[in-house]
Each structure stands twice: as structure tokens, then as C-alpha cells.
Structure 1
């Protein structure tokens, strides 16, 4: 067996230690801003009734009014306009509404509603802006809009620029089978008929929800990324990782389905702190244990149930079409699994492929990374419970 010179071995250990320290710093900084500055999609609920259209638009007004380009952006803190955004968050509802009145013509022009080849110009019927809670967190305002459609039965499309971020469109008056879509990067909705709903193929629905599921992990699901990394750093062997990922997948699939069906409903103020606690737990157990314990898959399964409720809230915002429930649910799950596998693959390429069989891997790489994950989870648990 080749003997590695002590100086070379020490150099590798120091490089590993430096990498772990950088990872700790990055995770801590990322965690401190990701929740507060997370970019949320706007939701447009649309009612089409003959020649009239009603829309309720739920969105965070402040980033748009601050002039932040949201295209492909997941964190408003990455913009050079973040200070303007944060200042708007501190305004009382009446002050923000006054400023919004001046901004409304720009948003009105951005909102592209079309029917029979004509642009339909919406009218602002009212604005509901919540009180200032935690100024470090986004608040959802509601705009009530109306518009006159051209005579006839031409369908209606809705879109807005990519700079305004993602837009969820839901056709409400069509009943339980109404059309819903997640529109990103300036995409336009399918033509929504004035009676009935959009007919989508199973393949279209499946593909749409694969993309949504993947995006909920990468880049938007920091909670779930850290949990999966916690599973990764438990052991150098493939078997424990497969057991944990399988338990997590089965569990979140169960509660995701139950949550979407309305059979299980747990408030976010309970689910979110528990998800944070699950992240802290896996990080701590990684340091204290010497490998896979018999109860670890059971614990991961229980935590997977919690994460599934978090996934359900995402699909609840979008509005999974009941007529394509199974197809959409499977597509979303496939997207989530692809996202999780991508996280594991990236972690393996970053640290596992060159260091996992080293005697110092656990002390220099796995333990510091697990401690970083535990600290972030503990911070979130406290933040979501007390702050």
C-alpha cells in the first residue's frame, strides 16, 4: 500500500478543513437571508363571465415597485435595489397604497390580457395591503381587477413580463376542473375559454409539474436541500443513503397526496418550525452516531411526512387540477426526486468523490458540514417559533 507523505496528507486535510469552514460560512449567510428575501410567485385568480373578466391578483408589491428585475431571481437580496425593497416593506398600508397608485399604470401595462387578438385593459377596483408584521419578511397584497372583453366567445390569455417573476394563473369559474398553470420567464397562459376549461394532455400536465417539483428543490427549496445534505453526510456508504432517501420519498408522497386532497391540514406555523427542527436533528445525529442506527429510517420517514405537508402547500398555491390529479401529483414527485438526486450528485462531486474514503473525511468534512446544517435548522426553528 502506498504511503502518503505526511506533508501531503496534512495539506489535503487542511484543504478539507478550509472547504468545510467555507461551507459553514456560506450556509449560515444563506440561511440568514434566504427566507426573508425569498421571491414568491404572484397568483392570478381569473373569473370569465360572458363579456366580463374579474381577477384577484395576490402578489408582493414591494419588489416590483422597487424596480427589482425578478427574472430568474430567487432572492431579492441579490439585487442592487434590495434597500428600496426593504424600505417599502416598512411602510404602513395606507402609505404603500398611496405609492402604489402612482405605480399602478406601469403594472397595468405589464399585465397582458388578450382576447380575440385584442389587448384587454384592466381596471383597478381595490387594493388590500396587510399591516406591517415582520418587516424582514414579504407580505402578500391583493389587487381586485375588472375588465371588459370583446363581444363573442373568443378565449382569454394572461401573461406578464419575465422581469415581474413567476405568475400562477387559475381559472376559477370553470369549477373543480378549472385550468391552472405556473408561468415562468414571461410565458403566456393557454387560451382560457369563456365556458368550460382548458383541455390539457396528460403529458403536458406531467411535464409542467416535473418542472415545478424540480424548481421547488433547486433552487427554491433550501429547507429540503439542507435536509437531503444531512442524509448525505451520515455515512460514506451508499446503502444508508438509499434507505434514508427511500423512507423520505415514501413519506412525503403520502402527506403530499393527503394534503392536496384536503384529508390532512396542518397550519404552516406548526409545520415550518418542525421542518426546521428536522434539519437540526439530522445534523446533530450525524455527529453523535457512528453510522446508520436502526431507528434512523423511521425518524427520516416521520420527518418526510412533515416535508410532504410543506410540498402540499406549494401545490395548494398553484391549484392542482382535480381532473389531472394523479398525473400532476406524479409529475411533481418526479421533479422533487430529480431535484433531490441532483443535490446528492452535486454533494458527491464536491466532496464525496475525492474525500469520502479518507480517514479524516468524518472529522474534517462530514462533521463540520453536519454542524453547519444543525445550526441553520436550529436558527430557523427559533426564528419560526419565537421571532
Structure 2
């Protein structure tokens, strides 16, 4: 079999994997658990995406495929009971239950927020176990923070199905003893989360693939990657610091539009479209808001290092994953683009496939949502 057929097959295989790996570009799988040790009690705030818990507490009571405001309100007690029952709080060797039913609310990011109050304060040890993670998909992660009443971080940890608990030993006055988790552990957790997010963010990857599909060498590819990095880093920081906020109902459809536009530009203009780096910068600003949605879903906005540590490490993780993907596909793209017999047809074929996927996501995020 001629070598160029093998190369072409490789590109199509990568593209099809990206398209078929998930029905949704951003599958659910993030939540947060924020624990504050007050003077006389322990306050726990739990945040889950509604799509992660609706299978356990159905809200569509009349089964008409639409959840009304009244149905959401009616589901609040059941959601609060569910999350409270799945959380274990052990203080100084004794399990405690909330002093009263959890306070339940919804935010504008389609998340469920439950606040629980436990009538005791740990002096020596605090054990937290999020048993609900065992019932969720294996990729689900929950960011746990433990703080004092004045906001000093005692512990931070990313929980998962196989590691769903934190055992914090205190040395008195609610201070952690030697060996407690540090900022370095949180940095590593968010760095890993950034890598996982870009590798499972199929819309972002297809956008990057469509941008790079017209390059022939290192220079133009470096420009595109650099401009994309700068752009989404700007808006990721602005959104993370709450300087600029855009609703996900706007951002996600527009991301799909950027994919469609770049793919169609590849088809219509073909090779070497001018100003591709400026197009990348403009569209990259929109993708940055999409990345920021991950930190918003987890309620990451406070702590000893504030939003800055998660923001920095998460962004570095995104860049690392992005560079790894580019390093994998660029040699194949360049080889094909320098073979005139197949370059044009393959570019248009792949771009049309990307365009179709972008169109599907656009419909899914607007008409079908």
C-alpha cells in the first residue's frame, strides 16, 4: 500500500476518534466540596452539575421532556437529601449528621448548590468522604477544600471514584499538622485537570486541527498555536478573575460557529489562507471563555492562593496537552500537504467532516438543548 494512503488513513482515524469519542464536547464530570471550620460548627458547600445528579433525583415529574421552574423547586428537598446522605463527615473519630436539612439553590451555570451545617468543630482530626463519587462515571472529579473561618486553606485535594476521601490531622487551633497537603498538590491537580480538559475537549481539538490543517511547516504552525494560546489565556484569566463574564449558553454555540467557519474557510480558500493567525486570535478569545467554564463549575474562587494558582496551573495543563496533540498530528499534516496529489482533496474532505461535526454541536447547543 502506498505510503500516502497510510498517512491519509492516519489523519482520518484521528479525526474520526475525535468525532466519535463523545456525543457531547464537554461531558459532565466536575464538582466541588468546600468545607469551612467555623467557631462552633462545620459548614459544607456542595456543588454539582444538574446533569450529574438528575438521574438519581428526576426533576421532570410530568415526563413532558421539559423541566419547569416549579419542578426544579419541587426537586430541591430530594437533591439536598441525596447529597447529604452521600457525604460522610467524621469529627475526632465520630460520624456526624447535619444539624438541619440542607439549604438548596441553583445557579446560572445550571449547577445545584447545597449547604450543610454540622454541629461540632474538629480539634484533632477531620475525615471527609464523598461516597456519591462511586455512583458517578469514573472520570468524575471533585475539588475538595478545607478552610478556617478566616479563609486560611488547611487542605486541598482532587477526589475521584478510587480516592474519595481526605483525612486531615490537626495540631490544634484548626491548623494542619506536618505532612498535610500543600499548594504544590493543588497545582498538580489543576495541571492534570487542564491536560484532561483539552484532551477531552473535542470541540477545541477539532478547532485546532482545522486551523493547523493548512500549514506546511513549523513557522506558520507556531504562529497559530502562539496566537491561540495568548488569546484563550487572556479570556480565561478575565473570566476566572470575574473581570468579564459570558454565559455558557452564548459561549458554547459560538465555539461551534468558530469550528464551522474555519472548516469552511479551508474548503473555500484552500491552502495558505492569509491572516490565519489573526483569525485564530479572535476565535481563541471565545474558546478561553469555554475553558473558564470548568473552573466556574467547580466554584474555584477563593482560598489562600485565590483563583490565581488554579488559573495558572490549569492553563499550563491546557497548553501542555495542546502542544502534545500538535506534536502528534503536525508531522502527518505537513507530509500530506507537501504531496500535491492528495493534499487538496484530503484537506477539503477533512474540513467538511469538521464542519459537519461543528454543525451538529451548534444544533445540539441551540435548537436541541
Asked if 1 retains the 8 angstrom alpha-carbon contact of 2:157 and 2:181, the reply is: no
User: Per-residue deviation at 1:337?
Assistant: 0.7
Give, in angstroms, the shift of residue 12 of structure 1. Answer: 5.3
RMSD: 4.3
Structure 2 unaligned regions, length at least 5: 57-62
What is the CA-CA distance between 1:239 and the residue it aligns to?
A: 1.7
Cα drift, residue 379 of structure 1 = 3.2
Query: Distance in 2 between the 1:106 and 1:324 partners?
Result: 30
Q: 1:281 to 1:159 in 2, by over 3 A?
A: farther
DSSP-derived class of the 1:125 partner: coil
Counterpart selection for 1:225 from 191, 205, 208:
205
Q: Give TM-score, length-normalised by structure 1.
A: 0.72
Give the structure 2 partner of residue 340 of structure 1. 322
Q: Secondary structure at the match of 2:196?
A: helix
Q: Distance in 1 between matches of 2:53 and 2:141?
A: 12
User: Contact 1:235–1:241 (CA<8 Å) still a contact in 2?
Assistant: yes
SS in 1 for 2:168: coil
1:191 lines up with 2:168 in the alignment: yes
Are the equivalent residues in 2 in contact too, given 1:62–1:88 (CA < 8 A)? no
Cα offset, 1:248, TM superposition: 0.7
Could you say if the C-alpha distance between residues 241 and 324 of structure 1 is closer, same or farther in structure 2, counting changes exceeding 3 Å?
same
Q: Is the 8 A contact 1:116 1:155 kept in 2?
A: yes
Cα distance in 1 for partners of 2:297, 2:52 equals 20
Contact map agreement 2:47 2:114 (CA 8 A) in 1: yes
Distance (whole Å) between structure 2 residues aligned to residue 384 and residue 324 of structure 1: 32
The whole-number CA distance in structure 2 between the counterparts of 1:309 and 1:195 is 37
2:93 match:
117
* TM-superposed deviation, 1:180: 5.4
Instruction: Give ranges in structure 1 of 5+ residues lacking alignment.
Output: 1-7, 68-86, 131-137
- TM-score if structure 2 supplies the norm length? 0.75
Q: Deviations over 1:276-329 (max 9, x none)?
A: 222222212222334444421111111121122222232233314462554433
The aligned counterpart of 2:240 is: 260
Partner SS, residue 323 of structure 1: coil
1:360/1:23 CA distance change after superposition, 3 Å = farther
| Paired position in structure 2 for 1:208 | 189
Aligned length: 352
Are the counterparts in 2 of residues 174 and 197 from structure 1 also a CA contact under 8 Å?
no
Q: Note the C-alpha offset of 1:43.
A: 2.5
